[in-house]
Amino acid sequence: MSCLIVQSDKTLLLEVDHERADDCRRAIAPFAELERAPEHIHTYRVTPLGLWNARAAGHDAEQVVDALVQYSRYPVPHALLVDIAETMDRYGRLTLSKHPAHGLVLTTTDRPVLEEVLKSKRIAPLVGARIDPDSVVVHPSERGQIKQVLLKLGWPAEDLAGYVDGEAHPIELLEDGWALRPYQKQAVENFWHGGSGVVVLPCGAGKTLVGAGSMAQAKSTTLILVTNTVSARQWKHELVKRTSLTEDEIGEYSGTKKEIRPVTIATYQVLTTKRKGIYPHLELFDSRDWGLIVYDEVHLLPAPVFKFTADLQARRRLGLTATLVREDGRESDVFSLIGPKRFDAPWKEIEAQGYIAPADCVEVRVNLTDTERLAYATAETEEKYRFCATTDTKRKVTEAIVRRFAGQQILVIGQYIDQLDELGEHLNAPVIKGETSNAQREKLFDAFREGEISVLVVSKVANFSIDLPEATVAVQVSGTFGSRQEEAQRLGRVLRPKADGHQAHFYSVVARDTIDQDFAAHRQRFLAEQGYSYRIVDADEILAEDSTG
């Protein structure tokens, strides 16, 4: 009996408790995406993107087929193997390379494929003269565009055109008293070897250090794109602490500051600001001869940034993310523009190695009061979520939870400002929301970090990249509807390793029998699939414990 079951819908079921499970996981990980990782059986999915990722990483169809046949418990359907071989065969029929005389050229090993793609209306404007039957000139500025279109046509091109080195700048890691973790090293190595690509690591697993490690490899000027200013500051802080870079070498390019230094950290927001129909800050990309571009939180990369990225194909690109799942389904753009996945490690595995804290996830179901139920039933559709998400009972439950974990660092996270203000008042805790100034935010975060305040109420502004090492309890009272990645991010808040090895707690307070519950189910699905099981408890239990305890 082997450990892998190949399903007809191209999912692979891996029995994790099996003795050969680890070998098998290693064998299938290059080409199959881990889709769900609950406690007993992990589900991997074989997709064309995954297979091409594998090809990009140097695996061939034979290895893939071998892995399946070797580990499969039941005979693998012949059709599936044929399909895999055919799909993988499509990668690399077309290659983009540098031609000494003609510049960037698209070459094929299979002439009909070239003929087929050249017939496409979308390819025609991107290519120039035909050099010989097997190659055609590509406008250098369309390098990203053509890769995107070719992927959509099902003939992904292998980009061998190489990279410009960019302006050199000395960067070293200062490993005093700490070192890159093995998986971080592996990630840096895989990325550097592959040229460009995406590293997938869970929140709290030290993605910033993977970025720093890559910069130390590149030793060149670097542009780092992050989601917001807080995150930018944290990157800066971390880089100063972990590398030979000094404060002066790192510039911040955001709404308030416009510094361009050898290492520049810019926010997505400032880049995508549009004035009079143009993006005035785009010149940042050309302001220096960047040798490396780092994209933090790739799964949030706004659409315009993809467009700019298409023009930056000659530079090394590193994407960092906790999940390749994009709510907008643009995974293929990530693949073609930033690069294939170069490294990933399942959440649970890193937890098992002790690098992130184990978490206890609890969903608390609260009942609406009778009047609330009536109001909810008659509310307009677009108002419904707000109605149920901000029910009064949630406040009581939240208070009870906060009381139970008194003394620990607690975050209360929510979507609706009214609700948060009210909670802040009742819990006697400061509230961080959109209107809070950055200085004030940093001050509060510092105070929280130092333990001066133990409860912090935050709106979704704190969703991303803030680093709150000592938060051990998070209470989520409302969220952006069913956003799975938000849930992952929020859980990430409490997953940083705790100094005292405390167990982290993640509470999600949900109104029963409402769309809040449906959204919660949707949000949790990602985490449940990552192996985080939610316990579900009734609000009454919490309240009862609270009154007795």
Partner 1 sequence: MSPAAHPAPRSLAEALRARDDVSLAALLRSRPDLITPVPTDLTQLATRAGTRASVLRALERLDRFALQTAEALAVAPDPAPYDTLLALMAGDARDETVAAALPHALGTLREQALVWGDDERLRLVRTARELLAPSPQHPSPTGLGPSVQEATSGMSPGRIQDIVATAGLPSTHDSVSAVAALTALFEDRKKMGDLLAEAPEAAREVLARLVWGPPYGQVTPDPAAHLRWLLDRGLLLPTAPGTVVLPREVALHLREGRAHRVPEPLPPAVEPAATHGAQVVDATAAGQAYTALATVEELMKDWDEGGPAVLRAGGLSVRDLKRTAVALDVSEPVAAFWVELAYAAGLIASDGEADERYAATPAYDEWLERPAAERWSQLAEAWLTATRTPGLVGGRDAKDRTLAALGPGLDRSAAPEVRHRVLTLLAGLPVGAAPDTESVLARLRWERPLRGPQQRNGDEDLRSRLARWTLSEAEQLGITGRGALSAHARALLGAPAAGAGSRTGSGTPGTSAAPGTSAPPGTSAPAAAGSTRVLAPAGPAEGTGPGDKLPVHHHHRPGGPALTPLSPAEQAVATAAAARLLAPLLPEPLDHVLLQADLTAVAPGPLRRPLADVLDVLADVESKGGATVYRFTPASVRRALDAGRSAADLHAFLVEHSRTPVPQPLAYLIDDVARKHGHLRVGAASAYVRCDDDTLLNEILADKRAAALRLRRLAPTVLAAPCDPATLLEGLRAMGYAPAAESAEGDVLIARAHAHRTPPRTAPEPVPDGPPPPDATLLTAAIRAIRAGDLAATTPRRTAGDGAAVPGGELPRTSSAETLATVQAAVLTGESLWIGYVNAEGTASQRVIAPVKVEGGFVTAYDHTADEVRTYPLHRITGVAELAEG
**Which residues sit at the interface with partner 1, rule CB under 8 A?**
5-9, 11, 13, 15, 36, 38-41, 43, 69, 72-79, 363, 513, 525, 528-529, 533-536
Minimum CB separation from partner 1 for residue 367, in Å?
A: 11
Minimum CB separation from partner 1 for residue 64, in Å?
A: 16
Residue 258 to residue 450: CA distance in whole angstroms: 30
Q: Which is nearer to partner 1, 13 or 461 (CB)?
A: 13
Closest CA to 77 of 11, 25, 154: 11
Helix H or strand E encompassing 45: strand 41-46
The three-class DSSP label of residue 50 is: helix
Minimum CB separation from partner 1 for residue 534, in Å?
A: 6
Q: Which is nearer to partner 1, 5 or 461 (CB)?
A: 5
Minimum CB separation from partner 1 for residue 12, in Å?
A: 10
Minimum CB separation from partner 1 for residue 63, in Å?
A: 17
Closest CA to 497 of 363, 361, 352: 352
Minimum CB separation from partner 1 for residue 512, in Å?
A: 8
Q: Which is nearer to partner 1, 73 or 99 (CB)?
A: 73
Minimum CB separation from partner 1 for residue 521, in Å?
A: 9
Q: At what angle do helices 143-152 and 303-310 cross, to 10 degrees?
A: 120
The DSSP annotation for 297-361 comes to SGGG--HHHHHHHHTTTTSEEEEEES----TT--HHHIIIII--EEEE--HHHHHHTTSS--EEE
First-to-last alpha carbon distance for the chain, in angstroms, is: 51
- Report yes or no: 11 and 4 within 8 Å, Cβ to Cβ: no
Residue 419 to residue 426: CA distance in whole angstroms: 11
- Report yes or no: 213 and 185 within 8 Å, Cβ to Cβ: yes
Q: Which is nearer to partner 1, 77 or 304 (CB)?
A: 77
Q: Which is nearer to partner 1, 342 or 484 (CB)?
A: 484
Minimum CB separation from partner 1 for residue 34, in Å?
A: 13
With 0-12 CB in 10 A as exposed, 13-18 as middle and 19+ as buried, what is 386? middle
Q: Which is nearer to partner 1, 69 or 164 (CB)?
A: 69
Minimum CB separation from partner 1 for residue 363, in Å?
A: 8
Q: Which is nearer to partner 1, 174 or 362 (CB)?
A: 362
Q: Which is nearer to partner 1, 210 or 527 (CB)?
A: 527
The residues near 143 (Cβ < 8 Å, ≥ 6 apart) are 96, 104, 159, 161, 310, 313, 314
Q: Strands, E, within 47-102: which ranges?
A: 94-99
With 0-12 CB in 10 A as exposed, 13-18 as middle and 19+ as buried, what is 423? buried
Minimum CB separation from partner 1 for residue 419, in Å?
A: 25
Beta-bridge partner residues of 535: 362
Q: What angle do CA 373, 376, 382 make, to 5 degrees?
A: 165
Minimum CB separation from partner 1 for residue 485, in Å?
A: 17
Q: Which is nearer to partner 1, 324 or 528 (CB)?
A: 528
Residue 72 to residue 4: CA distance in whole angstroms: 5
Residue 150 amino acid letter = L
Torsion angle, alpha carbons of 21, 24, 25, 29, to 10 = -170
Q: Which is nearer to partner 1, 75 or 100 (CB)?
A: 75
Residue 114 amino acid letter = L
